[in-house]
Amino acid sequence: MNIREVFARNLRKARQERHLSQEALAHEAGVDRTYISALERGIYSATIDMVDKLAKVLGVDAAVLLQRSSPARRRRA
């Protein structure tokens, strides 16, 4: 899985865990909802500044959004 796919998966998971819609996240981050959708589908790559901004809105460290699953978790998948 490439880093864009990792970010897309983690962004969607973090957003859903906080019960935020794409529109609500986009509003808080000052971006368009379609941009959030494209990020979550791995169509666009986020800049490091956008990763940081989204992480702050979601209340997580930016590293969480870029974290690959551990090798043990990958083997089970």
- pLDDT (0 to 100) of residue 39: 98
29-75 pLDDT per residue, tens: 999 999 999 999 999 999 999 999 999 999 999 999 999 985 544 44
Domain that holds residue 31: 3-71
Task: List, in order, residues 6 or more apart from 15 with CB less than 8 Å away.
Answer: 22, 25, 36, 40, 58
- pLDDT (0 to 100) of residue 69: 81
How many whole angstroms separate alpha carbon 22 and alpha carbon 31? 10
How many whole angstroms separate alpha carbon 23 and alpha carbon 43? 17
Residues 6-29 have a mean pLDDT of: 98
Domain annotation covers residue 37: yes
Domain of 18, CATH number, reads: 1.10.260.40
Domain annotation covers residue 77: no
Domain annotation covers residue 13: yes
Contact 47, 7 (CB under 8 A): no
- The whole model's pTM is what? 0.87
Domain annotation covers residue 48: yes
Provide the number of structural domains found in the chain.
1
1 versus 72: the higher-pLDDT residue is 1
